[in-house]
Structure 1
């Protein structure tokens, strides 16, 4: 893979990303630059490859071609929460605190309060509703205060109030200079983004 440089004022750059499942090209030369302090979105039909793109950007998948460069810490929130069903919410938070080498749980406590799931801290995640599991998933992605956030439909299963709270959090992060990329299939979210791209036929185009 070729090396790329992140332009001044940007937090992430991807150049010529290619990825195929068997012979089907999911990403066919995707270019993307995410600026600092930008709330951006990638929209597209189900099966268009949005989740694959996010997994490549986060480093979870190695692309068949192209390269990605990211400046600073990265937080990722996959579409499906990857949680151990027998561990409580509190145990997940403490495990990730240790993994991130954080001195305490101050940031995660703020997120727990904002997202409203403090009553479930000692409940095994396997007993939580899908929406509450997704709140835990989002908190784990944000608790180390990353500079770049890659979020795959992070509000899936949220009620309306929590959905609006998510956008409040996203806007606050953007205003603090964080770079936030949200993958969504919901076209009505378009007005919330500073920048919008549409993924179709493996190519990323301006979505405005």
Structure 2
């Protein structure tokens, strides 16, 4: 993913003031920033949901996006969600989603309706849907929200596996835990990304 000189304003208020970002294959990276720093706006632009006022965003290969707000139909079962997205992505089978669900210890919920799932389980489904087409670039917004400790560790196992398979993974969060797992870390501040060379503690 290549991001060059991205600007965005709401009226007279400039939120992004020249964001540059290059995410190479085989990289596990993170962006942190305080509430109001512009993370949501940047995420919407990176995912293609919002166009920048100026600048460009280019994705190379298949792109996956896991938003913080889970977009599910509460009346659908987990299996029905998978079948729906399988058709949308034009997939031949559900092998990839089954692998992700196995890693997240989520396979037993296949016939459970989304409305009956806990917050953490809904997030597991959200993550599975974002990964089931095996994207080359994956954008994750607060991906471990609602996870218990075991699932949190399983998430990082999955993210590391994706990185080692040559995928580009970007985790965006208010707080960055276990930042020693990241290859790169940026802080979004004053409308720009600032590289954190040697992070040594949790960032806010």
Q: How far has the Cα of 1:23 moved from its partner?
A: 2.6
Q: Deviation of residue 49 (structure 1)?
A: 1.4
Measure, in 1, the Cα distance between the counterparts of 2:145 and 2:62: 24
> 3-state DSSP class of the match of 1:122?
coil
Task: Judge conservation of contact 1:149–1:180 (CA < 8 Å) in 2.
Answer: yes
Spell out the pairing of 1:126-141 with structure 2 (5 A cutoff).
126-141=115-130
Q: How does 1:21-170 map to 2 (within 5 A)?
A: 21-170=10-159
Query: Aligned with 1:35: secondary structure?
Result: coil
Q: CA RMSD in A?
A: 1.1
Matches of 1:174 and 1:188, distance apart in 2: 18
- How many equivalent pairs are there? 197
Equivalent of residue 195 in structure 1, options 150, 164, 184? 184
Runs of 4+ in 1 over 3 A off after TM superposition: none
Q: Are the aligned partners of 1:51 and 1:183 in contact in 2 as well (CA < 8 Å)?
A: no
Which deviations, in whole Å up to 9, do the C-alpha atoms of 1:49-98 show, x marking residues without a partner?
11221221111111111001111000000011111111111110000000
1:185 aligned partner = 174
CA distance in 2, matches of 1:117, 1:98: 21
TM-score, L = length of structure 1: 0.91
* Paired residue secondary structure (1:188): coil
Equivalence for 2:200:
none
Distance 1:197 1:108, change over 3 A: same
Unmatched 5+ residue regions in structure 2?
198-204
CA distance in 1, matches of 2:93, 2:33: 38
Deviation at 1:47, TM superposition (A): 2.1
Distance in 1 separating the partners of 2:17 and 2:47 = 18
* 8 Å Cα contact 1:14-1:68 kept in structure 2: yes
